[in-house]
Homo-oligomer: A and B are copies of this chain.
Amino acid sequence: MTTHLDSLNAAPAEDFAGFVGSLIPGAAFLGERAASARPFATVSALHAALMAALMAASPEEQRALLAAHPEPTAEDAAGLDPLAAAAEAEAFARGLAAYRERFGFPFLICAERQTIDAVLDALAARLAGEPAAERAASLGEFGHIVRLRLARAVEGPGLPPSTGRLSTHVLDTHGGRPAAGVALRLYAVGRAGRRLLDSRTTNADGRTDAPLLAGAPLRAGRYEIEFDIGPYFRGRVDGAVRNLFLETVPIRFGIDEPEGHYHVAMIATPWSYTVYRGS
């Protein structure tokens, strides 16, 4: 169920505030204060107005609003291997408690923009930070949460970015053509090892039919794609070779912009490959 921006622009101030409160528990007062800035030409402008109202709010109001947001759970960083999660759950809970004790408010992060390892890294880093910086970081994360909710709940022009994209492409410069039929596997790489996210095969253009990841923010963190280059080239090198120079080629890379486009491309021969962030 989405609401159109036009309706929000035309609604009584009270209803507009109610909509904001329904989207973000406790934030109706931001809607009240931003209502007079309507009409908004774009959804991004609506987002900016709510964030401006948040920045202008009193420290107590900010603190109360942010504290109302639930702390992240291992489940937020979805798809995690249950065993690894269990092993780390206790340490995670201890970290969250230490954070609350140190800063007097809970750890706030837009968990769907992070792998569980990135959440753990952020918690460790932010535990060592200064209170003022932490308040700013929390506001920034809150802004991500509001942005994603608006992008999904409101229709209209100028939607703020709410998705990223990971794509790949394999070129065969031994034969001078896209490398078709190359099996590949995408993994999330964390402290506890790596976890298979998807398996694909390249099409006639050396790409996958659909992006490897799309339709949601890319979780910041580390990833690996394994390409089965050996089977692709096997017929083209000396048949007596038992151990091909290149068999499975792993490409390990980081994602840092959840709403970005990461094109991880490879140009391969049986004896060499080039990896680059393309476009």
Mark A residues whose CB is within 8 Å of B. Answer: 118, 121-122, 169, 171, 173-178, 205-206, 220-222, 237, 241-250, 252-256, 267, 269-279
Please name the 7 residue pairs, one residue from A and one from B, whose CB atoms are nearest each other, closest first.
Answer: A243-B254, A272-B276, A176-B271, A173-B272, A243-B256, A274-B274, A173-B271
| B253–A250 touching, CB < 8 Å | no
Partner pick for A271 among B237, B246, B256, B276, CB 8 A cutoff: B276
Say yes or no: B252 contacts A252, CB within 8 Å: no
Contact A279 B171, CB 8 Å, known A270-B176, A272-B267 = yes
The answer for the CA separation of A250 and B245 in the assembled complex, in Å, is 14
The answer to whether A244 touches B271 (Cβ under 8 A) is no
The answer to whether B256 touches A244, judged by C-beta atoms less than 8 angstroms apart, is: yes
- The answer to whether A174 and B171 have CB atoms under 8 Å apart is no
**CA distance in complex: A126, B275 (Å):** 37
In the docked arrangement, what's the CA distance between A237 and B236, Å?
Answer: 13
Q: How far is the CB of A218 from chain B (nearest CB, A)?
A: 10
In the bound complex, CA of A256 to CA of B244 (Å): 7
CB proximity of A207 to chain B, nearest CB, Å: 9
Question: CA A255 – CA B237 in complex, angstroms?
Answer: 14
Given contacts A176-B270, A250-B252, A252-B250, are A171 and B243 in contact (CB under 8 A)?
no
User: Are A243 and B173 closer than 8 Å at their CB atoms?
Assistant: no
Q: Are A220 and B247 in contact (CB under 8 A)?
A: no
Say whether B272 contacts A274, CB under 8 Å: yes
Residues of B near A177 (CB, < 8 A) are: 279
CB contact under 8 A between A279 and B220, given known A254-B243, A254-B247: no
CA distance A276 to B265 in the complex (A): 13
| A247 and B274 contact, CB distance less than 8 A | no
CB distance from A240 to the nearest CB of B (A): 9
Known: A269-B269, A271-B276, A272-B277. A253 touches B242 (CB 8 A): no
| Residues of B with C-beta under 8 A to A252 | 246-250
Q: Please, which residues of chain B bring their CB within 8 A of the CB of A271?
A: 173-176, 276-277
How distant is the Cα of A250 from the Cα of B227 in the complex, in angstroms?
Answer: 13
Q: List 10 A-B contacts (CB under 8 A).
A: A118-B242, A173-B272, A175-B271, A221-B243, A244-B256, A245-B277, A247-B252, A267-B272, A271-B276, A273-B276
Chain B residue with minimal CB distance to A176?
Answer: B271
Distance in angstroms between the alpha carbons of A223 and B176 in the assembled complex: 18
Determine which of B247, B248, B255, B275 lies in contact with A243 in the assembled complex, contact meaning CB atoms within 8 Å: B255
Give CA–CA (A252, B270) in the complex, Å: 13
Which of B178, B247, B276 sits near A267, CB closer than 8 Å? B276
